[in-house]
Homo-oligomer: A and B are copies of this chain.
Amino acid sequence: MMAHRAELIAVGTELLLGNVVNADARILSEKLAELGIDVLYHTVVGDNPARLREALELARSRVDIIITTGGLGPTYDDLTKQTICEVFGRKNILRPELEEWVRGVFVSRGREMTENNLKQAYLPENCTVFLNENGTAPGCAFCEGGVHVLMLPGPPHECELMFTTGAEPYLRALSRDVIVSHTLRIYGKGESEVESLLYDKISGMTNPTVAPYAKPDECMLRVTAKAESREAAEKLLSPVLDELMSVVGEWVYGVDVDSLEQVCLDLLKRRGLTLAAAESCTGGLIAKRLTDNAGASKAFLGGIVCYSNGVKANQLNVPWDMLNELGPVSEPVARAMAEGARAAIGTDYAVSVTGLAGADPDEFGNPPGRVYVGLATPEGTTVKKCDFGARTRDHIRQQSANTALDMLRRALQ
């Protein structure tokens, strides 16, 4: 059976104006890849029925799954359902049970419902309804002339949940083959270095396939196999994973993990250890990334954002003499910050970051992008000197956070 081919059509002038990024396309593409559905195109059009119609006609000529996001809401420029109904020759009909449901959502939120919200109780006739557990616009799916059309809402948290609860079961029912993939997450080697290390091994492969991808500030390798069952796919994957690990395992921080911070938290929790952070130039970024994860409080007890010398001295016991003579961006200060955070918060481990994320050098001769990253452990403290160069503020801060987390991971593993 041939793999299904999909096109994602996002509808929204706010995307074409650059007010928001097309987050839905990323989320859905990742999930469709896991289902073994090839996404061939992303298309974005504005709240413009003529151009949406043209995009739908093109899509139905070249793919067999069309997923639209956006334009299902209550306002006058939400036109997706009407336009799809016109193109595919279906009626858009009021569903009393949805009317009741939409009214109920407003009651439960204690908000008054304006009448335009009733638009959301209309759906094409003879469709599979997807309820919206995070919002008020339901979605749906139908099949017409061999083409499956799915409509999902635009706000990413609504879209993602509706995909999981409604669209994914609908799509799984279309295919027999099982697709299994594993992802190796790599920090410390770039995509092109990884590709050249592995090129001879991976370039001719067909099942499994291995594909390297650049992510911001890191890279990953995705290994995918297709087979009749999950077990058969895993059997194909296992020797390939071993082979890859023998070449790039040194820089792999996890397989099928979400992030470096999640790996660190898991390692800490498994061993019953605790962590603190002392952050100058990262300004809370490490703490923020750790606490993005539910349950972080079991290992991460807290942090000090020391964006001034006073906080470094008073909260972290960094000596004033050291700050004045060597400057806040120095190896001894990074060391004192890590040890100070470990002592003040009373944890097993502490990371520290002090550096220059801006475009200017400091008065102590440090160039832009110089960062000292410290790690205090029960066995002692290490400090790494990094020069990220005159890059963007965001890049320097993310790389500083990654360096701290990778030092912690290596110490824990």
Which residues of A are in contact with B by a Cβ distance under 8 Å?
10, 13-23, 25-33, 39-46, 51, 55, 58, 73-75, 109, 114, 134, 155, 157, 192, 195-196, 211, 213-216, 220, 222, 277, 279, 281-288, 290-292, 294-297, 300-308, 310-311, 314-315, 344-346, 357-359, 389, 391-395
Q: A157-B395, A291-B284, A344-B315 are in contact. Are A14 and B214 (CB under 8 A)?
A: yes
| Chain B residues, CB < 8 A from A346 | 310, 314
Q: 6 closest Cβ contacts across the A-B interface?
A: A283-B291, A18-B30, A284-B287, A18-B29, A284-B284, A42-B44
User: Taking the nearest CB of chain B, how far is it from the CB of A113, in angstroms?
Assistant: 11
Question: Judging by beta carbons under 8 Å apart, are A43 and B42 in contact?
Answer: yes
User: Taking the nearest CB of chain B, how far is it from the CB of A162, in angstroms?
Assistant: 14
| Chain B residues, CB < 8 A from A157 | 391-392, 394-395
Question: Judging by beta carbons under 8 Å apart, are A192 and B74 in contact?
Answer: yes
Tell me which of B17, B26, B51, B344 contacts A33 (CB under 8 A). Answer: B17
Give A51's nearest chain B residue, CB to CB.
B40
| Chain B residues, CB < 8 A from A109 | 389
Q: Provide the bound-state CA to CA distance between A285 and B288, in Å.
A: 5
User: Taking the nearest CB of chain B, how far is it from the CB of A368, in angstroms?
Assistant: 11
Question: Judging by beta carbons under 8 Å apart, are B30 and A42 in contact?
Answer: no
User: Taking the nearest CB of chain B, how far is it from the CB of A189, in angstroms?
Assistant: 13
Q: Provide the bound-state CA to CA distance between A27 and B192, in Å.
A: 25
- In the assembled complex, 5 residue pairs joining A and B whose CB atoms fall closer than 8 Å, in A order, are A15-B26, A19-B222, A22-B42, A294-B358, A301-B307
Q: Provide the bound-state CA to CA distance between A357 and B305, in Å.
A: 21
| Chain B residues, CB < 8 A from A295 | 358
Tell me which of B13, B222, B285, B294 contacts A284 (CB under 8 A). Answer: B285
Tell me which of B18, B297, B311, B391 contacts A26 (CB under 8 A). Answer: B18
Question: Judging by beta carbons under 8 Å apart, are A284 and B301 in contact?
Answer: no
Question: Judging by beta carbons under 8 Å apart, are B393 and A19 in contact?
Answer: no
Question: Judging by beta carbons under 8 Å apart, are B51 and A45 in contact?
Answer: no
Question: Judging by beta carbons under 8 Å apart, are A215 and B20 in contact?
Answer: yes
Question: Judging by beta carbons under 8 Å apart, are A43 and B46 in contact?
Answer: no
Question: Judging by beta carbons under 8 Å apart, are A213 and B284 in contact?
Answer: no
Q: Provide the bound-state CA to CA distance between A302 and B282, in Å.
A: 11
User: Taking the nearest CB of chain B, how far is it from the CB of A255, in angstroms?
Assistant: 16
Tell me which of B14, B29, B58, B281 contacts A15 (CB under 8 A). Answer: B29
A33, A134, A311 — most chain B CB neighbours (10 Å)? A311
Question: Judging by beta carbons under 8 Å apart, are B292 and A394 in contact?
Answer: yes
Tell me which of B41, B74, B75 contacts A45 (CB under 8 A). Answer: B41
User: Taking the nearest CB of chain B, how far is it from the CB of A224, in angstroms?
Assistant: 10
Tell me which of B46, B277, B306, B389 contacts A302 (CB under 8 A). Answer: B306
| Chain B residues, CB < 8 A from A45 | 40-41
User: Taking the nearest CB of chain B, how far is it from the CB of A321, in angstroms?
Assistant: 20
User: Taking the nearest CB of chain B, how far is it from the CB of A88, in angstroms?
Assistant: 21
Q: Provide the bound-state CA to CA distance between A308 and B39, in Å.
A: 44
Q: Provide the bound-state CA to CA distance between A17 and B181, in Å.
A: 12
| Chain B residues, CB < 8 A from A291 | 281-285, 305, 307
| Chain B residues, CB < 8 A from A300 | 283, 307
Q: Provide the bound-state CA to CA distance between A17 and B27, in Å.
A: 9
User: Contacts A19-B213, A279-B284, A288-B288 given; 20 further ones with Cβ under 8 A?
Assistant: A18-B27, A18-B28, A20-B26, A21-B25, A40-B46, A157-B395, A283-B296, A284-B286, A285-B291, A287-B305, A291-B305, A292-B393, A294-B358, A301-B307, A302-B304, A302-B310, A303-B304, A304-B305, A310-B345, A315-B345
Give A156's nearest chain B residue, CB to CB.
B216
Question: Judging by beta carbons under 8 Å apart, are A305 and B307 in contact?
Answer: no
